[in-house]
Each structure stands twice: as C-alpha cells, then as structure tokens.
Amino acid sequence: MPDALQQLQLDIAAMLRADELFAGVQVIVSRPRDAEDATLIQSNIDNALAGLVQVETGETFKGGLAVIIMMSEGEVPAPNVPGPQLELVQTVRVIENPLVNMGDDGTQITAEQGALNVLSALHHWNPGYGVLTADSRNALKEVNLEGRVAYDVRFRRDAGITPRAFVQRPQITIGGSDATITCGTSGAAIYWTENGSTPSPATGTLYTAPIEFIPGSTLRAAAFKTGLRGSDISTKQL
C-alpha cells in the first residue's frame, strides 16, 4: 500500500492519463528509488520529448511533450498546531521540445496549453482524501531548461498528521551526591548520559538505580517505550 505522498503522485498521474486533452501524451511519475530507477525515468522523459518508444513499457506515444508528476513536498504553515498540520505541495512539470512537438508526429499541444490543462484538470479535484487547490502564490511558473519550454504547475492540499503519543519527560532529582531519575510513563526505559551527549538506547546508559554523579558534569536523561515517541530530554547541571 503506497503511503500518502506516493498515492497522491499515482492518483494525479492516473487522472491526467485519463484526460482526453492529454491523449497520446506521456505522463510520467518521478519517484526514483535507486540509480537505476532515476536513469529509467530520465530515459522515458528524454524519449517522450524526442518522440521515441517508451523504455519501460515499449508503448509508442506522440512526441515532443511530457508531463512529469514530481515528488510531493510539504510545508507546515502553523508550527504551533499539534500534528503537525502539514500542507502538501505537489508540482506537475510540463516540458515541451518544440522541434518535435510541432512536427507531424508531435502532440501539437504547447507547453502553455499543457500547463493550463493541468491547472484546470486538478484545481479543486478531490482524489478521495482531500481537495487539491492551485497554489495561490505560485500556481504557474516557467522553468529554465535549455532547448525546452517548461512550466511547473503547483497545487496544495491540507494533510494533518495524527500526533504520536509520547513518553513523559523524566524528572531528575538531586539528593546529596546521588541523582534519581523517574518517569511518569509506566514501563518506560530511562537512558542517561553524564558528558552532555544525547541520551538514547544507542548512546546512553540504562537507568536502574540512583547515579553517583561527578560535580560539574551535565546529566541528561530521556525515556523510551515501544509504540510511543521518545520523551523530551531533561538536563541537569550537577
């Protein structure tokens, strides 16, 4: 099952491939997972613009125009809201090779026409998990690609992330030459460091009994429990 970011790419690609105004135009999802994928995607884009056979499927399309569904990005417009409240930014890039595109085997769809068609096809479109809207600040932007005419069409969609439950922050109590660390989350494991470094299961010492500390050192502690987000870090100058 693709995650939300991948699913948005796939749904937009399917929507544009079904659009009659893009009949014969290659719509390519740009989501490389390794160097081989990246090479294949770029080859498909190059072949689409040159009017050659699609590498991955062997299909033949009209040449000179490619529509690329870029990987999603995200912004957090209200950082103080729990979650966080994520705003997805999705870019669709339309690239034209005019020499091929306006020839006998070209799509005859200019980059400008293609970009406007993407804008009209996806603005206020709901793939089932939120409405896409054209980016009010930067909906359509020319892209400088040598020998090509290209535009980026940008959309936004609210996508709240469910806040993760977290372990309570541990409390450090000093008594004489000992430091006692407690945590209000039952079953949480507490890890500590005394040299100022970040406490974690990989870098800290598991707390099992009061610590005889070194005066002048910096004691830091954090607590962890399976299924929960790790706690905030407590720090005490000893």
Please state the rounded mean pLDDT for residues 220-235. 93
Q: For position 60, what pLDDT does the model report? A: 63
Q: How many CB atoms lie within 10 A of CB 74?
A: 13
Token readout for 32 is 């490389």
Residues 66 and 111 in one domain: yes
Q: Could you tell me which of 193, 173, 174 has the C-alpha nearest to residue 233?
A: 193
Strand partners, 189: 224
- Residue 32 belongs to domain spanning: 4-160
112: CB partners within 8 A, 6+ apart: 149, 151
pLDDT in the model for residue 176: 82
Phi, psi of 122 (to 5 degrees): -110, -15
Question: Is 165 contained in some domain?
Answer: no
Q: Model-level pTM? A: 0.71
Question: Are 61 and 178 found together in one domain?
Answer: no
Region 80-107 average pLDDT:
86
Q: Could you report the per-residue pLDDT of 132-142, keeping only the tens digit for each?
A: 999 988 899 99
Q: Are 112 and 133 members of one domain?
A: yes
Within this chain, do residues 135 and 50 fall inside the same structural domain, yes or no? yes
49 vs 101: CA distance, rounded Å: 8
Specify whether 184 is located in the same domain as 133.
no
Higher-pLDDT residue of 11, 54: 11
* Cα 82 → chain centroid: 18
In the predicted structure, residue 76 carries a pLDDT above the cut 70: yes
Question: Has residue 28 been placed in a domain?
Answer: yes
pLDDT for 112 equals 96
Tell me, yes or no, whether 148 and 41 share the same domain.
yes
* 172-191 pLDDT per residue, tens: 999 888 899 999 999 999 99
Confidence of residue 59 (pLDDT cuts 50, 70, 90): low
Q: Which of 160, 194, 220 is the last residue of a domain?
A: 160
In 54-132, beta strands by DSSP E? 65-69, 73-75, 85-96
Boundary of a domain, candidates 113, 132, 160: 160
pLDDT at residue 181, as a whole number:
96
Higher pLDDT, 33 or 163: 33
Tell me: do 99 and 206 sit in the same domain: no
Cα–Cα dist 193/233, whole Å: 11
What's the average model confidence in pLDDT over 123-138?
Answer: 90
The answer to whether residues 154 and 194 belong to one domain is no
Within a domain: residue 84?
yes
The answer to whether residue 24 is domain-embedded is yes
CA-derived radius of gyration, the chain: 27
Higher pLDDT, 91 or 59: 91
CATH number at residue 50: 3.30.70
User: According to the model, what pLDDT value does residue 142 have?
Assistant: 95
* Total count of domains within the chain: 2
11 and 112 both lie in a single domain: yes
Pair type for strands 26-29 and 65-69: parallel
- Same domain? 124 vs 178: no
Assess whether 153 and 182 both reside in one domain.
Answer: no
What integer pLDDT is reported at residue 1 of this predicted model?
A: 46
Which helix or strand (DSSP H or E) is residue 50 part of?
helix 35-50
Q: For residues 58-81, give the mean pLDDT.
A: 81
Q: Domain for residue 166, yes or no?
A: no
In a domain, 56, yes or no: yes
Tell me if 232 is assigned to some domain: yes
Structural domain includes residue 222: yes
Neighbour-count burial of 87, counting CB atoms closer than 10 A to its CB (0-12 exposed, 13-18 middle, 19+ buried): middle
Q: Which of 128, 160, 192 is the last residue of a domain?
A: 160
pLDDT band at 161 (very low <50, low <70, confident <90, very high): low
pLDDT band (50, 70, 90) for residue 2 = low
Report the mean per-residue pLDDT for the chain. 88
Amino acid at 79: P
Domain at 227, CATH number = 2.60.40
Does residue 140 sit in the same domain as residue 48?
yes
Of 205 and 54, the one with more pLDDT: 205
